[in-house]
Amino acid sequence: MASTYNPGVHRFAVFVVIWTILLLVAGALVTSNDAALAVPDWPLSYGSLTPPMVGGIFYEHSHRLIAGGLGIFALVLGILVWVKDGRRWLRGFGIIAVLGVIVQAVLGGQVVIRLLHYWLPVIHACFAQIVFAAVLSIAVFTSRWWVSGQAPLEDRGTPTIHSLVLLNALIVYFQVFLGAGFRHQDLPIWPHIAGSMLVLASVVWTTVVLRKRFSQSRELSKARVLLHAVFGVQFLLGLGAYWARLTTADAPQPMRLMVVLTVTHTVVGALLFAVSVLTVLLCYRLVPRRREVVAAAQNQAAVQ
């Protein structure tokens, strides 16, 4: 079913995306300040909704409050999409976003209850990226640009651009997993370093192909520049964060410089994954898949 642009739904979806980024910042602050177990119970904090906001409790309880806000906003967004938009598949994305937030909340609770064991903090961090991608996708799908007609682009290369950008997003997501494993002390640093080299190769390959095949597309050109820029910033932040971690290893508590660099590195990593997902969505919107092109040609021949 076709859909018309609803500015209210789209703007609220963009707000939920921004709120999700705020939640990612809050979560990174919990880990970087060693505050994950500052509150021993869940879902309440010391049996209260208003515990004393001191020390690590401030970071952990603030994280829970922001997560609770995301749960409410995701539910409202899902209802808006269901009521205002006629696309059934988009309604499915709304349901995924709501269920994803619920699962993420339960995972966060298990992190506390299980005392950071069983790779739960890593799973919690990685699942947050899936929720982020779902909310971002809804914001893109409800935009005026998406629902308006777009001139299709032809992809003549191999591998197809759809396969390439999807592979790039998966590689970036795998690097998120490696980074979370290192941050939560379940993996050494070298897999994360090796992963950064793999992401570098993937981003360069993807952006070169985008430039060669679709230099005339304004949207894909912007996506290409964003991929380059965000990865470059992320790489430099990674070097800075590791240097800060090494130089403050003997400090009695996390130092401000280390916290700032590590949190920024973590959040920009999430943004790199978001740009990778956005690139996938743009390619699927602008470039018809080859089987779709073949089917259209066969239909046209049959009509003639």
Structure confidence at residue 286 (pLDDT): 94
Summarize pLDDT for 253-286 with one digit per residue, the tens.
Answer: 888 899 999 999 999 999 999 999 999 999 999 9
Q: Band the pLDDT of 201: cuts 50, 70, 90.
A: very high
**CATH topology classification for 151-304:** Four Helix Bundle (Hemerythrin (Met), subunit A) (1.20.120)
pLDDT at 91 over 70: yes
What string of DSSP letters covers 70-112? HHHHHHHHHHHHHHH---HHHHHHHHHHHHHHHHHHHHHHHHH
Higher pLDDT: 198 or 299? It is 198
Domain ranges of the chain: 1-149, 151-304
- CA distance between the termini of the chain: 27
pLDDT at 301 over 50: no
Structure confidence at residue 93 (pLDDT): 86
Q: Band the pLDDT of 157: cuts 50, 70, 90.
A: confident
Cβ atoms of residues 128 and 187 within 8 Å: no
Structure confidence at residue 290 (pLDDT): 61
Structure confidence at residue 2 (pLDDT): 53
Structure confidence at residue 120 (pLDDT): 92
Secondary structure class of 254 (helix, strand, coil): coil
Q: Band the pLDDT of 291: cuts 50, 70, 90.
A: low
Cβ atoms of residues 221 and 214 within 8 Å: yes
Q: Band the pLDDT of 298: cuts 50, 70, 90.
A: very low
- Judged by average pLDDT, the poorest of 6-10, 153-157, 270-274 is 153-157
